[in-house]
Amino acid sequence: MKLLLICLAFTSLMAEHAPTPPKQDWSFKKPNGTFDRSALQRGFQVYKQVCSTCHSLKYISFRHLKALGLTEAEIKVLASQYQIKDGPNDSGDMFERPGRPSDYIPSPYANDKQARAANNGALPPDQSLIIKAREHGADYVYAILTGFKENPNLKLNPGQYYNEYFPGHAISMAPPLSEGLVIYNDGTKATIDQMARDVTTFLAWASEPEIEQRKRLGFKVLLYLLVMVGLFYATMRRIWSGIK
């Protein structure tokens, strides 16, 4: 009986536990690594055309996108394509106006309830911090996007799909990517793998937009410390040189 219970507990644990996502080679993971600007721009295109219909990105403003290599003018045009809820105006009503660079990217749903109602009860999580919020960050998001497999024989509810790397394997998101889903401006071929890599790179940037500056500062601090150590050493040698 005890053994049976242990077995049961173990199998349910196994079901909840998804395999560790394979490690990918991300340029931004290296100690002095940076984000590939073209990958960031392609990734934003994938987010905008595909993911943003369900997932918000609420901590990123249009102005932040300058880091992707967009010019002020491009950002202005981009922002103006969005309708932003503003107000209340003098008569107390909310109104919509074209976006400005200082606006944050608007969410696809008015609130979580509406988001759940549109997605079979599941909430598409905000993507601003998803890479930081999940164990295995970028590897996990990439693995989810490329991890939709034929269902071995897991019981799925309507609106659920089998995903190798989602905890429990039953995910309430239809495979969002398909070959050639977007047309990249730079001519890159939009395979599922390419789009998954690009959007993951973009989301990694979005969860730590200041990481490149931080790495650069870290490098400068190290250099400064090294120089100081050298100076102190030289001074010590001088001061003690007369003492035998």
Site of interaction with ligand HEC (CB under 6 A)? 46, 50-51, 53-55, 119, 122, 124-125, 130, 134, 141, 144-145, 171-173, 176-177, 199
Instruction: Specify the residue, 21 or 99, whose C-beta has the smaller distance to ligand HEC.
Output: 21
The least CB distance from residue 31 to ligand HEC, in Å, is 26
Give the span between the Cα atoms of 94 and 199, in whole angstroms: 33
Task: Give the CA-trace dihedral at 203, 199, 70, 96, to 10 degrees.
Answer: -80
Instruction: Specify the residue, 38 or 80, whose C-beta has the smaller distance to ligand HEC.
Output: 38
Instruction: Specify the residue, 181 or 211, whose C-beta has the smaller distance to ligand HEC.
Output: 181
Q: Which residues contact 88 (CB under 8 A, 6 or more apart)?
A: 94
Q: Give one DSSP letter per residue of 62-107, joined into a string.
A: TGGGGGGT--HHHHHHHHHTSEEEE---TTS--EEEE--TTSBPPP
Instruction: Specify the residue, 192 or 215, whose C-beta has the smaller distance to ligand HEC.
Output: 192
The least CB distance from residue 126 to ligand HEC, in Å, is 10
- If one counts every other C-beta atom within 10 angstroms of the C-beta of residue 153, the result is 6
Instruction: Specify the residue, 49 or 213, whose C-beta has the smaller distance to ligand HEC.
Output: 49
**What does DSSP assign to residue 192?**
H
